[in-house]
Structure 1
Amino acid sequence: MPHKVVTKKKVGSDVKKQLQHLLKTQAQLFVSTRDDMMEEAVERKRRLCEKRGAEIVRCTIHCQVVGKHVMENEARLSYCAHYQFLIKHGREMYVEEQIEERQAYFLDGELVKDEKVSKTDGEMDSPRLEREMPVDERISYEYNRAKAVRYAEIWWNSYNPAFPKFDVDCTNFVSQCLYAGGAPMTGYPNRAKGWWCKNNSWSYSWAVAHSFRWYLSGSRVGLQTVEVSSPEQLMAGDVICYDFQGNGRFDHSTIVVAKDKDGMPLVNAHTTNSRMRYWSYEDSSAYTPNIRYKFFHIIDRK
């Protein structure tokens, strides 16, 4: 299984050996599923494909080291694992991609732990939004789905410097996609009102998954949506919101970029950067049987 290291600085021989050991071990873990967590992740992906009538034809991993800390006999390496899955679904084939930020810990040159870096948006408040009252002067727009999807494809694994970047970046990314498609900003400068990002500030609905979900449900000014009951009713450029725990607080947002042969959505997302991922997220470590979804169809023209 191919792998590579991209570094900007030369490192000592001990660290080089540790990097080589990391990559060799990471590839071996993925192939032989010796590591419980990796085995579980691969099994989730396999089960989901089997449920859909699809199969993983090939998987490759590219590892890029982004940080290192070495002290005496201990070492901690931060790296990004870029997974590429060639999926065969009926007569169709496509590539699904996913980026994981991971950390590996070594003791006396031996790998003792290799884990995904967990992220949470717990530090971001999601207060009750203020509903915008309809005004006499209409805010009209035309939503260009092709432009929204194009933006999602360009920036799925990078960050547009024209916008802020968050550790938990999923909703910020989806908001940018909608804006690229022509969705109008409203509510500035009230952070609890409307949906906007300007002058190095932003509304809660722009960047917080739970606030975004409620904005999409209730907006009557500017960008508007229709909530639909099933994912196959969505089109490219539409949005899915996720409540992984089923506790009423929504944690994640994605944008639909394509449909599979059965008419089910494939989505792009940030935080765990993903491209052409199956909409249900049953292969995610965040998935629980209590998961709840909200499906929002963007009204194309107002």
Structure 2
Amino acid sequence: MYKELQEELKRRLQCLLEGEEASRDERLLRKKQLMTERDSEILKIKAFGKVLEDDGQLTRYLVHYKYLIKQGDFLYLEEEVEGREARIERQQVLEDKEVDLAAIYSHESDAGEPIEEPEQRRAFRYDRLKAVQYAERWWNSYNSAYRKFDVDCTNYVSQCLHAGGAPMVGYPDRSRGWWMRNNNWSYSWSVAHALRWFLSGAEKGLRAEEVSRPEQLEPGDVICYDFQGDGRFDHTTIVTAKDQKGMPLVNAHTTNSRMRYWSYEDSTAYTANIKYKFFHIKDDSS
């Protein structure tokens, strides 16, 4: 990474560690506030940068953040990969902003995974451990057996649910059920708003119970986010762990994240109007 970008990155991390209120990054200020509210502290931050493209005017690069967080006796590592775009002139960073990873990563294979007959009737027992293991394996990469989407959060969560044994239903009607097959897929497989409504109403196969509080969730459960509070859900995450206070930590794609605090208050997409839906996945033993 260029020296100027290294210095800008160092400045942002120093603001976060030292509590510098003059930070220009509102997201970092919200992250600091969130740590205080959770009785947590960031013990150490590491950031690794990689320049991917430089056309002489704009520099596109990735930053992989690692936060070592302490909450009482509980230590854990939160990770996030952020796509950024910078404009540098005369050895000064004039602009440095977050961009979607889709603007940086090239599109992957369109291949679809060979799937069992989606309408096949069988008992479904959700294996939460396998869902979480899949979420951990692929949080910052892409399984070539599946198509990758520009907005990949719901596709990633759907893959995790399927790894946990959730059966597909509804093929080949894209507006019905939950499935991916033969380079085709239902809206609920890949669109956050569609998965939110599917989980609310499904009566067979992948089903869920909506709960009122995040602490009622378990690893393998799902959170849906309406950042603007306008009734249109924009994002989906999967719970992969819980902190010392029993609150969910989540993995996600689009901005690839691992063990992130569930509320997303440190996200650039966060607004004061945000709304959440909490879904506890059910199976035939429920």
Global fold match (TM > 0.5): yes
* 2:42 counterpart of 1:56: yes
The higher radius of gyration belongs to: 1
* Cα displacement (A) at 1:191: 0.6
* Cα displacement (A) at 1:24: 2.7
Matches of 1:170 and 1:230 in 2, distance apart? Answer: 22
Structure 1 gaps, min length 5: 6-18, 121-136
Quote the residue 2:226 is aligned against. Answer: 243
C-alpha contact 1:240 1:295 (8 A) present in aligned 2:
yes
- The 3-state SS of whatever aligns with 1:261 is coil
Structure 2 gaps, min length 5: 103-119
Q: Residues 29 and 263 of structure 1: is their aligned pair in 2 closer, same or farther, counting only changes over 3 Å? A: closer
Matches of 2:223 and 2:270 in 1, distance apart? Answer: 15
Matches of 1:29 and 1:148 in 2, distance apart? Answer: 34
Quote the residue 2:162 is aligned against. Answer: 179
- The 3-state SS of whatever aligns with 1:184 is coil
- The 3-state SS of whatever aligns with 1:222 is coil
- The 3-state SS of whatever aligns with 2:25 is helix
C-alpha contact 2:45 2:66 (8 A) present in aligned 1:
yes
Quote the sequence identity (%). 55
Matches of 2:129 and 2:100 in 1, distance apart? Answer: 32
Q: Residues 177 and 22 of structure 1: is their aligned pair in 2 closer, same or farther, counting only changes over 3 Å? A: same
Matches of 2:166 and 2:271 in 1, distance apart? Answer: 32
Look up the equivalent residue of 1:88 and give its one-letter code: K
Matches of 2:278 and 2:8 in 1, distance apart? Answer: 40
Matches of 1:47 and 1:154 in 2, distance apart? Answer: 30
Q: Residues 35 and 29 of structure 1: is their aligned pair in 2 closer, same or farther, counting only changes over 3 Å? A: farther
Q: Residues 38 and 154 of structure 1: is their aligned pair in 2 closer, same or farther, counting only changes over 3 Å? A: farther
- The 3-state SS of whatever aligns with 2:271 is coil
Matches of 2:253 and 2:164 in 1, distance apart? Answer: 18
Q: How does 1:141-152 map to 2 (within 5 A)?
A: 141-152=124-135
Quote the residue 2:54 is aligned against. Answer: 68
* Cα displacement (A) at 1:119: 7.6
Quote the residue 2:27 is aligned against. Answer: 41
Matches of 1:37 and 1:149 in 2, distance apart? Answer: 35
Query: 1:34-80: CA deviations, max 9, x gaps?
Result: 9977532221111001111111111111111111112xxxx211011
Out of 100, 103, 109, the position equivalent to 2:82 is: 100
* 2:200 counterpart of 1:214: no
Matches of 2:29 and 2:5 in 1, distance apart? Answer: 22
C-alpha contact 1:30 1:39 (8 A) present in aligned 2:
no
Aligned residues: 266
C-alpha contact 2:21 2:29 (8 A) present in aligned 1:
no
Q: Over aligned residue pairs, what C-alpha RMSD do you find?
A: 2.1
